[in-house]
Structure 1
Amino acid sequence: MDCQTNRKQDVKAKQNIKATVLQKDVGLFSGVCLIVGTMIGSGIFISPSSVLLYTGAVGPCLLIWTACGILAMLDALCLVELGTMITKSGGEYSYLLEAYGSIVAFLYTWTNTIVQKPSGLAIITLSFAKYASTPFYPGCTPPVVVTKCLAAAAIVVITGVNCFSVKLASYVQNFFTAAKLFIIAVIVGGGIVMLAQGKTENFSNAFDSPSLSAGAIGLACYSGLWAYAGWDQLNCIIEELKNPYRNLPLAILIAIPLVSICYVMVNVSYFTVMTVTEVLSSPAVAVTFGDRVLYPLSWIVPLFVVFSTFGAANGGSFASGRLAYVSAREGHMLQILSYISLRNYTPSPALMFNGFLAMCLIIPADIYSLINYINFAQWMFSGLTSLGLIVMRFTKKEVHRPFKVPIIIPALMVLVSCYLVLAPILHEPALEYLYCTLFIFSGLIFYYFLIYRKVKWVNSLMRPINMHLQLLLEVVPPQKIE
């Protein structure tokens, strides 16, 4: 009797033990909040002036914002097919690996893990720091050292939250998504009131602007698409998404149209109270709008912009850590980055690595050059991902596709990606693009020696480092579940 009782207790204990894998803790609501919360960050409060700079008038500016929303939706539909066909976290990395093999996938994770994702986190936290510190320096620009220290502190807090708990990170994301939708509603509501009062003079002759070159349109799209960036975040964590075949397409179909409508309406609101010149000269368009429309409650705008940027940084960190984790699991990054916290079931080494690189990139950061740098590389790989979807229609015909888009959509996205890569270079050549290209292909050197040849002394050097980091961080390799 005692033996039978002990056996039952052992079985029950085993059933209560979680496997050391990432847990499926993200539902539909949290998935929508992750996409919306990451897309609505600093972009809508920084990019309006940049988009307007290249378009020169209200009408073309609003058209660019609308076009960027459509492009985001089309690219996201391609990712829905890929995500429901290949249910691995890591987003584009996993799809490039399946479509082209190891080399292209490595170059993607090399570029994204080392530069793109940390740069994105650095940009967003710098925006957060700028808005958070401005009230303490009325009438002047906050010192650079203050904003950079505050941005570094934000990265530490965000990384800590994501390392501690997936559920806590989701709750933080949900809260800040609600906060940013509130401030968007306030700005849009203020704009509607202004329009009702007859404030339409800035919309007269809305399309009176110099003729736009292809390169200028491309650069305007760069800034607009930066504001939309984040529609692929759910693909990065699909292994943690409940019922991905249902929730991935639903979340994208809800989130992206919502964000697109918000962005266009927010820009309309800006133009109800500010001329083109005033928008271009304003260092913080949302704050200027608040000062003119919401006084004496104008202080709520910078407060909620701080919430918005913090939430976007949290969502970006959440997804970026998964890219480093998956690529390390496939042998394309340091082995320690594929380990999972034994206590919290989070990829804490990958999250810490992303946070550390972001803090390093804060030091020389210039927001607008980083935006161009990031988008140049991003659209190269985005075009390859869309092309990979077409390739796999022929090479992997037998794979089940719960969601299938017309092939014209990925073909269109390939053409758009080529345009967004080439047009800005031809219009305004800059060394950033050359540096970016050299950096991407420098990954081939590391791939040859560390992945293809597997140099023995590197493994011998990393083995004790991995062991000590594993003990220090209390992490273990992910468990394979049959």
Structure 2
Amino acid sequence: MDDPESLRQPLLRHESDTVPESATIGRNLSWSSAYILVISRVIGSGVFATPGSIVKSAGSIGATLLVWIVGTVLAACGLAVSLEYGCMLPRSGGEKVYLEFTYRHPRFLASTLVAVQAVLLGFSASNCIVFSKYTLFALTDQPTERQSKALAVGLLTAVTIIHGGFLKSGIWLQNVLGWIKLFLIAAVSLTGIWVILFRSSNELPNTPTDWDNLWAGSNWSWGVLSTALIKVLYSYAGLSNANNVLNEVHDPIGTLRTVCPAALLTACALYLLANVAYLLVVPLDQLKSSGELVAALFFERVFGAHVGRTLFPLAIAVSAAGNVMVVAFALARINQEVARQGFLPWSRLLSSSRPFGSPLGGLLVHFVSSFVVITLPPQGDVYSFILDVEGYPNQFFALAVTVGLLLLRIRRPDLSRPFRAWLPAVWLRVLVCLALLAAPFFPPPDWRGDVDFFYATYAIVGVGIIVFGIAYWYIWTVLMPSWGGYSLGEEDEMLDDGTRITKLTRLYAGAKLNSTAPWIGSVENPTA
């Protein structure tokens, strides 16, 4: 017969997620640091690099601005969901905590999928690539692929060393880079206003004279527009960045309720003004073919070749570097939380905050995945493809989290909810996730199968990652225990630095757990 205490233990472990937990390294993030962590993650390379591909997909000025407005509204719906979850479960880990708390069955499935996503998709490659391209764009005319990749890896290495060995200095540096980033995007926005006020309409290449010109060339194919919409949503993805590090935030619930809406309003205003500036200054055909260098073309046309081609691209590179810092900061904490639950190899080592009082193990996991994505794919349209592959599986997790919020309102009305998402916003989020998941499989009207690259490749790769996670879960939690005649159990352990971890253990009939075993899965089997 099962021990009643063992039956209650999983429930107790999940219930502890509703209690705030302080990190062993302390609560080092103030309100302003949390704000920079969010806004610097939101305003990364997206507003400097993605407008060109979004204009190419939308086809016209009006459709482009409409995609950004719709994307902002949908981002606000997603933010409402993450705010309710974050205030209800105020702990580091973000979606990992939410999915594990909501979907307890099948056992270990949610944790495995989060672990697979953290390892395979938890990278900062795109912003490292933007940093490299803008830096080399300013310093040399024709950089080689080897130079571009080497510089991107150099940035990744520097960020890993700073955050891994100098915790408080890393927080200070990312705060400085965050404020520089805000200044840069504000400069772009104010430049657009200056252009409108002091240049005649004849000097503005994209000024529409009537509504027909505003919408001329619009592409209303949902398959194409959904790709653009995913890029806009990716530009707002960092709105939940504070949810990932709540163990290190002063007053986590109060800070979360104010920091995230403030960051959304800031990003919305700056994004729209910046896109208006791009559309007014850079000819539409050049915008569509600009790739990641749309901001560089903008500054070159406004300020001339010297300033526009050298100074401002370097400033944008600094902005991308700041984004890499806050992404690495947050993803390292997620990796550490995954390791604490025993879902990564060498979990004791990766969970510990030693020797520098930082999540060095989580940073190394982030470094490896980012290094692979930077160095292996060839140059070309790799940046856009990485965004698509990275963004598509996130829609599965966003859908699961949103549906989970509705389920918890039914199952657990007793939980404290300092923030409640507006119900229509939650349902809108569900519908949009479903639409974005289905959209890539609808061919664009001008696609020719015998010539063009398959339009749904990024979605197929994204689905493949999810299927891989499910297959991996089935093999190690169902198939292998069935063949080996054991079941999987969980055992808590406290590391020397005060970090509490969970070891996954093999339980045989009549076996007794060995609490001093140094490796995951060790048991004493007296019948062996």
Alignment TM-score, normalising by the size of structure 2: 0.79
Aligned 8 A contact 1:191 1:268 in 2 = yes
Aligned 8 A contact 2:389 2:458 in 1 = yes
Q: For 1:287-333, what per-residue CA distance to the aligned partner results, in whole angstroms no more than 9, with x for missing partners?
A: 11111112353233112101110011111111111111112212222
**1:452/1:237 CA distance change after superposition, 3 Å:** farther
Q: For 1:277-296, what per-residue CA distance to the aligned partner results, in whole angstroms no more than 9, with x for missing partners?
A: 02112241111111111235
State the shift of 1:107 in Å.
Answer: 4.2
Q: Structure 2: how far apart are the matches of 1:333 and 1:78?
A: 28
Q: Structure 2: how far apart are the matches of 1:218 and 1:145?
A: 33
Q: Structure 2: how far apart are the matches of 1:107 and 1:384?
A: 14
Alignment match of 1:434 (pick from 460, 467, 490): 460
Q: What's the counterpart of residue 519 of structure 2? A: none
Q: Structure 1: how far apart are the matches of 2:113 and 2:471?
A: 14
Q: For 1:207-239, what per-residue CA distance to the aligned partner results, in whole angstroms no more than 9, with x for missing partners?
A: 122450221221110222222221111111111
Q: What's the counterpart of residue 31 of structure 1? A: 34
Per the alignment, in what secondary structure is the counterpart of residue 242 of structure 2? helix
Which amino acid is 2:357 matched to?
A: Y
Q: What's the counterpart of residue 11 of structure 1? A: none
Compare 327-336 and 75-84 and name the one that shifted more. Answer: 327-336
RMSD over aligned Cα atoms: 2.3
Q: What's the counterpart of residue 116 of structure 1? A: 121
State the shift of 1:452 in Å.
Answer: 5.7
Per the alignment, in what secondary structure is the counterpart of residue 214 of structure 2? coil
Alignment match of 2:65 (pick from 49, 62, 65): 62
Q: What's the counterpart of residue 448 of structure 2? A: none
RCO (CA 8 Å, sep 6+): is it higher in 1 or 2? Answer: 1
Per the alignment, in what secondary structure is the counterpart of residue 50 of structure 2? helix
Aligned 8 A contact 1:386 1:410 in 2 = yes
**Equivalent runs, 1:241-320 vs 2, <5 Å:** 241-283=249-291, 284-295=293-304, 296-298=306-308, 299-320=310-331
Q: Structure 2: how far apart are the matches of 1:383 and 1:292?
A: 42
Alignment TM-score, normalising by the size of structure 1: 0.87
**1:217/1:235 CA distance change after superposition, 3 Å:** same
Alignment match of 2:237 (pick from 218, 229, 233): 229
Q: Structure 2: how far apart are the matches of 1:39 and 1:108?
A: 24
- The structure where helix makes up a greater share of residues is 1
Which amino acid is 1:377 matched to?
A: P
State the shift of 1:390 in Å.
Answer: 0.5
Q: Structure 2: how far apart are the matches of 1:453 and 1:248?
A: 41
Q: What's the counterpart of residue 390 of structure 1? A: 406
State the shift of 1:451 in Å.
Answer: 4.8
Instruction: Tell me if 1:407 matches 2:428.
Output: no
Per the alignment, in what secondary structure is the counterpart of residue 54 of structure 1? helix
Aligned 8 A contact 1:21 1:340 in 2 = no
Per the alignment, in what secondary structure is the counterpart of residue 297 of structure 1? helix
Aligned 8 A contact 2:180 2:319 in 1 = yes
State the shift of 1:450 in Å.
Answer: 4.0
Q: For 1:28-69, what per-residue CA distance to the aligned partner results, in whole angstroms no more than 9, with x for missing partners?
A: 111110111111111111110111111100111011112212
Aligned 8 A contact 1:162 1:318 in 2 = yes
Compare 106-115 and 410-419 and name the one that shifted more. Answer: 106-115
Aligned 8 A contact 1:107 1:440 in 2 = no
Q: What's the counterpart of residue 170 of structure 1? A: 171
Q: What's the counterpart of residue 159 of structure 2? A: 158
Per the alignment, in what secondary structure is the counterpart of residue 256 of structure 1? helix
Q: What's the counterpart of residue 207 of structure 2? A: 203
What number of residue pairs does the alignment pair up? 443
Q: What's the counterpart of residue 392 of structure 2? A: 376
Q: For 1:392-430, what per-residue CA distance to the aligned partner results, in whole angstroms no more than 9, with x for missing partners?
A: 101111111111112222211011111111112223642
Q: What's the counterpart of residue 129 of structure 1? A: 132
Aligned 8 A contact 2:44 2:322 in 1 = yes
Q: Structure 2: how far apart are the matches of 1:78 and 1:403?
A: 9
Aligned 8 A contact 2:115 2:338 in 1 = no
**1:273/1:402 CA distance change after superposition, 3 Å:** same
Which amino acid is 1:438 matched to?
A: G
State the shift of 1:362 in Å.
Answer: 1.0
Taking every aligned residue pair, what percent have the same amino acid on both sides?
24
Compare 194-203 and 307-316 and name the one that shifted more. Answer: 194-203
Per the alignment, in what secondary structure is the counterpart of residue 307 of structure 2? coil
Which amino acid is 2:247 matched to?
A: E
Q: Structure 1: how far apart are the matches of 2:272 and 2:349?
A: 40
Which amino acid is 1:64 matched to?
A: V
Query: Structure 2 stretches of 5 or more lacking a match?
Result: 1-21, 445-454, 485-494, 502-528
State the shift of 1:167 in Å.
Answer: 2.2
State the shift of 1:108 in Å.
Answer: 3.3
**1:384/1:393 CA distance change after superposition, 3 Å:** same
Alignment match of 1:443 (pick from 456, 464, 469): 469
Aligned 8 A contact 1:342 1:475 in 2 = no
Compare 444-453 and 225-234 and name the one that shifted more. Answer: 444-453
Aligned 8 A contact 2:440 2:459 in 1 = no
Q: Structure 2: how far apart are the matches of 1:193 and 1:92?
A: 42
Q: What's the counterpart of residue 184 of structure 1? A: 185
